């Protein structure tokens, strides 16, 4: 119930505006967001790389409403890729297609994202295309496939809570497209998504085993010890773990010490509200943590 409420609040534009412009923004987001500027996130990623952990830069934002805004997102992501190359960071970039104009049209979105993927290919990295709600699943996979055919260096994301995901993994793997497997972070109807956590977990484990068998450099994105165990014993050069900046640092350190590859998803920017609310929804105990840190400030 609390999870549903937090996800509902995450989609309220007025609350979002209030929160993102409030003086509480800094203290609230410090735990999960690397800062507001590209300099901030590059500094954080350099430190993380220094600990033997790869990164993926995420310039926060989603659902832009004009072509100009979509173009700004493209320019910001291109700047991120330039800094990755200049600083020789071990980093990909992660993007959400609604930030690049998916709501305005598939062609416009593809035109905005293609230059990024081309630049990523030229500097030897990759663009990871986050998966949003099921309104966008088909169009996202269509764009990922088109980009893979043109440039090769993309990764798709598949959500274990969706009933369709096994079929999608088989299609993407056959096409040679790498997949990041996560549980899924949006509010979905039971007709398309498993409603119970236990079902989502079982499906995650099944899909992780499938990906480790037929996938191309797959990524297991999770902080759940049971899901993490699915990768244990598999050669470390055949897959990577992925986690979110600020979550389960104990587990992050342990996996690196055991010799596994780990990549942290590192968000930055001003448009933090929906991302932040999804993190609270995943673990309502974070509310307590936040209340304490606000009190300290």
Ligand X SMILES: Cc1cc2nc3c(=O)[nH]c(=O)nc-3n(C[C@H](O)[C@H](O)[C@H](O)COP(=O)(O)OP(=O)(O)OC[C@H]3O[C@@H](n4cnc5c(N)ncnc54)[C@H](O)[C@@H]3O)c2cc1C
Site for ligand X, rule CB under 6 A: 130-131, 157, 159, 182-186, 221-224, 227, 242-244, 247-248, 265, 279, 282-283, 286
Distance, in Å, from the CA atom of 59 to the CA atom of 96, rounded to the nearest integer, reads 9
Active site residue 130: yes
Catalytic-role residue among 180, 261, 263, 278: 180
Q: Closest approach of Cβ 115 to ligand X, in Å?
A: 21
Tokens of 227: 């899901």
Rounded (10°) angle between helices 197-214 and 165-174: 10
Q: Give the shortest CB-41-to-ligand X separation in angstroms.
A: 15
Nearer to ligand X, 67 or 206 (CB): 206
Q: Which is nearer to ligand X, 67 or 187 (CB)?
A: 187
**Backbone angles phi and psi of 101, in degrees to 5:** 95, 20
Q: Which of 153, 146, 223, 138 has its CA nearest to residue 185? A: 223
Shorter beta-carbon distance to ligand X: residue 270 or 282? 282
The smaller minimum CB distance to ligand X, of residues 173 and 286, is found at 286
Nearest distance from C-beta of residue 5 to ligand X, angstroms: 16
Give the Cα separation of 246 and 131 in Å (integer).
21
Provide, rounded to whole angstroms, the least separation between the CB of residue 189 and ligand X: 15
Dist CA 139 CA 147 (whole Å): 12
Which pairs with CB-CB distance under 8 Å and at least 24 residues apart come from 39-45?
40/268, 41/80, 41/266, 41/267, 41/268, 42/83, 42/87, 42/89, 44/245, 44/266, 44/268, 45/89, 45/91, 45/266
Nearest approach in angstroms of CB 48 to ligand X is 13
Other beta carbons less than 10 A from residue 190's beta carbon: 9
Q: Which is nearer to ligand X, 186 or 194 (CB)?
A: 186
Selecting among 16, 58, 126, 130, the annotated active-site residue is: 130
Q: What is the DSSP letter of 59?
A: E
Q: How far is CA 146 from the centre of its chain?
A: 20
**Residues carrying an active site annotation:** 130, 180
């Amino acid at each position: 119930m609390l999870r549903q409420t937090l996800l509902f609040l995450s989609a309220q534009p007025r609350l979002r505006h209030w929160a993102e412009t409030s003086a509480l923004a800094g203290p609230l987001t410090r735990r999960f967001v690397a800062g507001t500027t590209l300099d901030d996130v590059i500094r954080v990623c350099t430190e993380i790389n220094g600990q033997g952990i790869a990164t993926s830069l995420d310039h926060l934002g989603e659902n832009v409403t004009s072509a100009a805004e979509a173009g700004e997102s493209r320019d910001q992501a291109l700047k991120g890729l330039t800094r990755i190359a200049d600083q020789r960071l071990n980093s990909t970039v992660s993007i959400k297609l609604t930030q690049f104009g998916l709501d305005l049209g598939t062609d416009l979105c593809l035109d905005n994202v293609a230059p990024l993927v081309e630049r990523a290919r030229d500097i030897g990295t990759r663009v990871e295309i986050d998966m949003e709600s099921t309104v966008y699943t088909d169009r996202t996979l269509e764009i990922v496939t088109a980009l893979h055919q043109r440039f090769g260096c993309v990764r798709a994301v598949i959500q274990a809570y969706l009933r369709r995901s096994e079929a999608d993994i088989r299609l993407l793997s056959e096409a040679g497209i790498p997949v990041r497997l996560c549980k899924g972070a949006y509010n979905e109807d039971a007709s398309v998504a498993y409603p119970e956590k236990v079902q989502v977990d079982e499906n995650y484990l099944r899909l992780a085993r499938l990906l480790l068998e037929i996938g191309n450099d797959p990524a297991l994105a999770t902080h759940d010890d049971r899901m993490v165990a699915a990768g244990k014993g598999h050669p470390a050069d055949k897959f990577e773990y992925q986690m979110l900046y600020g979550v389960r640092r104990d587990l992050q350190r342990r996996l690196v010490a055991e010799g596994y590859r780990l990549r942290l998803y590192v968000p930055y920017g001003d448009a933090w509200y929906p991302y932040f609310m999804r993190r609270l929804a995943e673990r309502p105990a974070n509310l307590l943590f936040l209340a304490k840190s606000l009190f300290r400030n």
